[in-house]
């Protein structure tokens, strides 16, 4: 925009002298420009309407049979066969995907056409219900773009889900004439039933050149690792039958085989297993004497006993999924849905989404040759693990098998992860069922590191105007050997901090940071001035801590760098009468929090407090001018899953100057407020993350009968 007008302006002055002499030309030009402008404005007015009218086909109801017909000449080009050496870096054009801040690929779908050969016979069924669902899912997802020029991935609307339903050569020709085909580069085909008799290839036989294949039933020889995507064979039963998740616990059968079309060799092996182990093994077969009207796929039989399928799968701990003519079996989906642990017996099979899913957590894979040992192998799986696998199996079905939409989105996400690997979804996100995601903790400081002592710690003193007491704190803290820097956070906007010359002279750098607002959260801001990992938060009235106590606190923090290490401990309790949490500061045998009036913690938690505190906790704290320490305790416990460490016997921060005139009433309101904070935070976190422990840390020789002068931290012990 800017460029266009600028150009015109620069040309303007050059035109002026010439036009002065040619008034008529000037008026004509003026007139024509105005006219042009009018036309432009007019067009502009009508333009959006014209787009809308043409785009109305989204709203417009049409039949799949009304789509344009494309005739394929017999000699139209056929793509090369699939190139087995294709990998993302050789066959995929990443330049089309570009760098975008959202790290999302853009997927374009070709519009639906009907392909016929020279004689007008159609090449395939126009589109199957499943493929239509799949394309709808892509179209509704955030991957979708309708702009073919911005697309990174192209999905043809030619349905190749089932190879049996299409004419191979003509389908290939249809692919080749797609507008952006370009040897199949960046094209994605979905296929679930590949191959045909007699040899049943494990990948789609349609020549497809460089196109990526999302296939159900790849073998390790046809699967191009890191290029193709292995997908499940969708089971339409998923949509028909609602099987509620079955809880853990023993099931009637141990091993169940529900597949109808088993090779006689397999069937005899299974029958041998059954003969050996009796009732706990159930092998189902087709029913021979079903009354009319019952869909045969919903019943199966053992001898004369009739079972409902797929409900019967829920009665078994393990369900056998054997290969048939093809490797991929729709029964896998049914088995997972039933929360039955699949026993996969299909050598060389690439399991669905194996690039991201950890099948070892949801299934047992047994080599075909080991089939006779199946029973003993499965018996060796611990019961608790079986229950976990059942839960995992169900979760895989819910997340990745349940619908064509789930299958489509998982496929696109896998490709997306390859193109933007640094933004890829993690193993945990792919594999952990919601229950585990909810209950598990992944500690951001997971590496067991004991930070070097030499690093020291940074003391942060939050102060408002108590200069005298502040100076005393500074003097006291500066005696701690491992102090490496002192940071004073000046929280008073109305008053300037004392002049430089007035500050106590200490051996480490002292910095004063002035804040913009008097907020409690300022104490937990990750100031750039903090150069050490360890932070000692200390109030401007904590003058009673000895140098030994502080130094010991730092040493303890070094051994537990991912925890809050503090002095007086506090406890949360469940108040059965009031049915809510209560704050407790009495002499208890347990602690779940430490006060941050003086506490060591990792600087990382400052960062978390400032930027990642859930909900409105930060605002609550600033509004109430209270409970910042409880918030910090919640945050750390929630992110690490670990308890605090209380050090030394100290129970209170009592300042000698304070007199007890405030008395009980203040104390009580204080307690009520603190309890309120706990309840508020627990509801924001959705859980009570605090951990209760019964221990505190003392120096190894604390109170031992040993010469005090030989102890590292003799001056510890007051309450």
Partner 1 sequence: MQTWKKYIFLTFLASWLLLFFFGGDQLRHFAFFSRRKAEARRNWPHWTDQSLLKSFADPEELQSDGDISLLSPQERRAAWLSVYKNSRCRMETCFDFSRCKKNGFKVFTYPQEKDQPLSESYSKILTSIERSRYYTPNPKEACLFILSIDTLDRDHLSGQYVRNVDKKIHGFPLWNGGRNHLIFNLYSGTWPNYTEDLGFDIGQAILAKASFYTENFRPGFDISIPLFSKDHPQRGGERGWLYQDSIPPKKKYLLVFKGKRYLTGIGSGTRNALHHIHNGKDIVSLTTCKHGKDWEKHKDTRCDKDNIDYEKFDYQELLHNSTFCIIPRGRRLGSFRFLEALQAACIPVLLSDGWELPFAEAIDWGKAAVVGNERLLLQIPSTVRCIHPERVLAFQQQTQFLWDAYFSSVDKIVHTTLEIIKDRLLPHHSRSRFLWNTLPGGLLALPDFSTYLGDFPFYYLQHGSSPSEKFTAFIRATSPAGSPSQSILRLIQATSGSQYCAQILVLWSCEKPLPPSGKWPQTTVPLTIIQGRGKLSDRFFPYAAIQTDAVLSLDEHTSLSTSEVDFAFMVWRSFPERIVGFPSRSHFWDPEQRRWGYTSKWTNELSIVLTAAAFYHRYPAREKFGGTVGLAAFSPSPRSLPRYYHNLFTEYLPVGLRELVDGLAACEDILMNVLVAAVTKLPPIKVTQRKQHKETVPQQVGCKDGDVGTPPVGELSPSPLHSPPAKVKGMAGMAGGQRFSQQQDCLNQLVDWFGYMPLVSSQLRLDPVLFKDQVSILRKKYPRLEKP
Confirm or reject binding of residue 697 to partner 1 (CB under 8 A). Answer: yes
Q: How far is the CB of 667 from partner 1 (least distance, A)?
A: 19
Task: Count CA atoms within 13 Å of residue 160 on its CB side.
Answer: 29
Q: For 307, left (φ over 0), alpha (ψ -120 to 50), or beta?
A: beta
Q: Shortest gap between Cβ of 75 and partner 1 (angstroms)?
A: 30
Q: How far is the CB of 248 from partner 1 (least distance, A)?
A: 13
547 binds partner 1 (CB under 8 A): no
Residue 136 within binding range of partner 1, rule CB under 8 A? yes
What lies within 8 Å, CB to CB, of 271 at 6+ separation is: 283
**Which positions from 241 through 280 interact with partner 1, judged by CB under 8 A?**
259-266
Residue 89, interface with partner 1 (CB under 8 A)?
yes
Told to check if 1 binds partner 1 by CB under 8 A, we report yes
**What mask of x and - would describe binding to partner 1 in positions 551 to 590, judged by CB under 8 A?**
-x--xx--x-x-------x-----------------xxxx
Shortest distance, position 703 Cβ to partner 1, whole Å: 5
Q: Which of residues 229-248 bind partner 1 (CB under 8 A)?
A: 233-237
* Interface region with partner 1, contact rule CB under 8 A, candidates 70-78, 290-298, 393-401, 680-688: 290-298
Choose one: 50-58, 468-476, 511-519, 536-544; the region binding partner 1 (CB under 8 A): 50-58
28 binds partner 1 (CB under 8 A): no
Q: Taking the alpha carbons of 267, 268, 271, 273 in that order, is the dihedral positive or negative? A: negative
Question: Which residue from 641, 679, 682, 685 is in contact with partner 1, where contact means CB under 8 A?
Answer: 641
Quick one: which segment of 71-79, 89-97, 500-508, 541-549 binds partner 1 (CB under 8 A)? 89-97
In this structure, the number of other CB atoms found within 10 A of the CB of residue 621 comes to: 25
- Rounded Cα distance, 7 and 3, in Å: 6
Residue 714, C-beta contacts closer than 8 angstroms, at least 6 positions apart: 548, 708
The token pair at 16 is 């002026």
- For the segment 652-681, give every residue that binds partner 1 (CB under 8 A): none
Residues of this chain, 161-200, that bind partner 1 according to CB under 8 A: 161-162, 164-165, 192-193, 196-198, 200
SS (H, E, C) 196-226: CCCCCCCCCCCCCCCCEEEECCCECCCCCCC
Tokens of 665: 């009433």
Rule CB under 8 A: say whether 46 interacts with partner 1: no
445 contributes a contact to partner 1 by CB under 8 A: yes
Closest CA to 553 of 589, 523, 508, 598: 598
Q: Which stretch binds partner 1 (CB under 8 A): 45-53, 471-479, 508-516, 623-631?
A: 45-53
Does residue 381 interact with partner 1 by CB under 8 A?
A: yes
Q: How far is CA 267 from CA 169, 344, 595, in A?
A: 37, 15, 68
* Torsion sign, CA atoms 395, 401, 406, 407: positive
Nearer to partner 1, 76 or 128 (CB): 128
Q: How far is the CB of 73 from partner 1 (least distance, A)?
A: 28
Work out whether 626 is an interface residue with partner 1 (CB under 8 A).
no
Of the ranges 135-143, 270-278, 505-513, 661-669, which one interacts with partner 1 (CB under 8 A)?
A: 135-143
Residue with tokens 């409900």: 311
Q: What is the DSSP string of 297-327?
A: GGEEEETTEEEETTGGGGGEEEEEEE--SSS
- Tell me the β-bridge partners of 599: 537, 566
Comparison of 40 and 74: residue with beta carbon closer to partner 1: 40
**52 near partner 1, judged by CB under 8 A:** yes
Phi/psi at 591 (5° precision) = -135, 150
Strand order across the beta sheet in which 229-230 lies:
188-191, 212-215, 229-230
CB of 493 vs partner 1, minimal distance in Å? 28
Q: With contacts defined by CB under 8 A, name the span among 73-81, 173-181, 647-655, 679-687 that binds partner 1.
A: 647-655
Nearer to partner 1, 326 or 680 (CB): 326
* Minimum CB–partner distance for residue 704 and partner 1 (Å): 7
- Report the relative pairing of strands 569-575 and 580-584 from DSSP bridges: antiparallel
Q: How many residues bind partner 1 (CB under 8 A)?
A: 182
Angle in degrees, CA 62, 66, 71, rounded to 5: 150
- Residue 198 CB, shortest distance to partner 1, in Å, is 5
Helical ranges in 516-616 per DSSP H: 547-559, 603-611
The Cβ of residue 581 has, within 10 Å, a number of other Cβ atoms equal to 21
Q: Of residues 44, 119, 303, 507, which one binds partner 1 by CB under 8 A?
A: 44
Tell which positions 486-525 bind partner 1, by CB under 8 A. none
- Looking at the Cβ atoms of 476 and 533, the one nearer to partner 1 is 533
**Binding to partner 1 in span 297-326, by CB under 8 A:** 297, 323-326
444 belongs to the binding site for partner 1 (CB under 8 A): yes
The answer to whether 681 and 634 are in contact (CB under 8 A) is yes
Minimum Å distance from CB 599 to partner 1?
Answer: 16
What residues from 411 to 440 belong to the interface with partner 1 (CB under 8 A)? 417, 421-422, 424, 426-427, 431, 435-436, 438-440
When the beta carbons of 491 and 561 are compared against partner 1, the nearer one is 561
Q: Radius of gyration over alpha carbons of the chain, in Å? A: 36
d(CA 41, CA 35): 10
Contact 634, 689 (CB under 8 A): yes
Question: For the chain, what is the largest distance between any 2 Cα atoms, rounded to a whole number of angstroms?
Answer: 114
615: left (phi over 0), alpha (psi -120 to 50) or beta: left
**Which member of 72, 115, 131, 342 binds partner 1 (CB under 8 A)?**
131
Q: Does 602 bind partner 1 (CB under 8 A)?
A: yes
Establish if 646 lies at the interface with partner 1 (CB under 8 A).
yes
Cα–Cα dist 89/100, whole Å: 19
Two tokens, residue 538: 């200390």
């Amino acid at each position: 925009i800017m460029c266009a007008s600028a150009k015109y302006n620069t040309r303007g002055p050059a035109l002026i002298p010439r036009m002065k002499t040619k008034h008529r030309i000037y008026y004509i030009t003026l007139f024509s420009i105005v006219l042009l402008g009018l036309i432009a404005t007019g067009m502009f007015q009508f333009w959006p309407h014209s787009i809308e009218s043409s785009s109305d086909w989204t709203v417009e109801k049409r039949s799949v049979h009304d789509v344009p017909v494309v005739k394929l000449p017999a000699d139209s080009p056929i793509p090369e066969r699939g190139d087995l050496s294709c990998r993302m870096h050789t066959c995929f054009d990443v330049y089309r995907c570009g760098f975008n801040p959202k790290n999302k690929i853009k997927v374009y779908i070709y519009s639906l056409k009907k392909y016929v050969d020279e004689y007008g016979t159609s090449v395939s069924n126009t589109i199957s219900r499943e493929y239509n669902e799949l394309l709808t899912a892509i179209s509704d997802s955030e991957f979708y773009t309708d702009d073919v020029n911005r697309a990174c991935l192209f999905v043809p609307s030619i349905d190749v889900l089932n190879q049996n339903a299409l004419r191979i050569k003509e389908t290939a020709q249809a692919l080749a004439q797609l507008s952006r085909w370009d040897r199949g580069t960046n094209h994605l085909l979905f296929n679930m039933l590949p191959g045909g008799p007699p040899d049943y290839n494990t990948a789609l036989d349609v020549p497809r050149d460089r196109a990526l294949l999302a296939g159900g039933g790849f073998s390790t020889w046809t699967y191009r690792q890191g290029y193709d995507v292995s997908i499940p064979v969708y089971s339409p039963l998923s949509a028909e039958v609602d099987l509620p998740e079955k809880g853990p616990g023993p099931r009637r059968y141990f091993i169940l085989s529900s597949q109808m079309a088993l090779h006689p060799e397999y069937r005899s092996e299974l029958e041998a297993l059954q003969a050996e182990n009796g009732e706990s093994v159930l092998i189902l077969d087709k029913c021979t004497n079903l009354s009319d009207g019952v869909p045969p796929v919903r019943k199966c039989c053992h001898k004369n006993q009739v079972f409902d399928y797929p409900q019967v799968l829920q009665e078994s701990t393990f369900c056998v999924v054997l290969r048939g003519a093809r490797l991929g079996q729709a029964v896998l989906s049914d088995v997972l849905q039933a929360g039955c642990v699949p026993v996969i017996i299909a050598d060389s099979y690439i399991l669905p989404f194996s690039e991201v899913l950890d099948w070892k957590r949801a299934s047992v894979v047994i080599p075909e040759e080991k089939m006779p040992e199946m029973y003993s192998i499965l018996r060796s799986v611990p019961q608790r693990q079986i229950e976990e696998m059942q839960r995992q199996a169900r979760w895989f079905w819910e997340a990745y098998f349940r619908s064509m939409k789930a299958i489509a989105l998982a496929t696109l996400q896998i490709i997306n992860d390859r193109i933007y690997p640094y933004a890829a979804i993690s193993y945990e996100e792919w594999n952990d069922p919601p229950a585990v995601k909810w209950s598990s903790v992944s500690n951001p400081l997971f590496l067991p590191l004991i930070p070097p002592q030499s690093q020291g710690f940074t003391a942060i003193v939050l102060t408002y105007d108590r200069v005298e007491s502040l100076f005393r704190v500074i003097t006291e803290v500066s005696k701690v050997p491992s102090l490496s820097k002192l940071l004073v956070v000046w929280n008073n906007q109305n008053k300037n901090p004392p002049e430089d010359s007035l500050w106590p002279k200490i051996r480490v750098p002292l910095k004063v940071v002035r804040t913009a607002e008097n907020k409690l959260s300022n104490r937990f801001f990750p100031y750039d001035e903090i150069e050490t990992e360890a932070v000692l938060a200390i109030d401007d009235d904590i003058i009673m801590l000895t140098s030994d106590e502080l130094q010991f606190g730092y040493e303890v923090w070094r051994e537990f760098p991912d925890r809050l290490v503090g002095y007086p401990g506090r406890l949360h309790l469940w108040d059965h009468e009031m049915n809510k949490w209560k704050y407790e500061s009495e002499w208890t045998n347990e602690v779940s929090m430490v006060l941050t009036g003086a506490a060591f913690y990792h600087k990382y938690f400052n960062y978390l407090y400032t930027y990642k505190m859930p909900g409105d906790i930060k605002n609550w704290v600033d509004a109430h001018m209270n409970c910042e320490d409880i918030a910090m305790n919640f945050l750390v416990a929630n992110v690490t899953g670990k308890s605090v460490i209380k050090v030394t016997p100290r129970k209170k921060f009592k300042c000698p100057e304070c007199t007890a005139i405030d008395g009980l009433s203040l104390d009580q309101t204080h307690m009520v407020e603190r309890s309120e904070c706990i309840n508020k935070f627990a509801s924001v976190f959705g859980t009570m993350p605090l951990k209760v422990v019964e221990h505190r840390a003392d120096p190894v020789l604390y109170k031992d009968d040993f010469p005090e002068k030989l102890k590292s931290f003799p001056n510890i012990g007051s309450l």
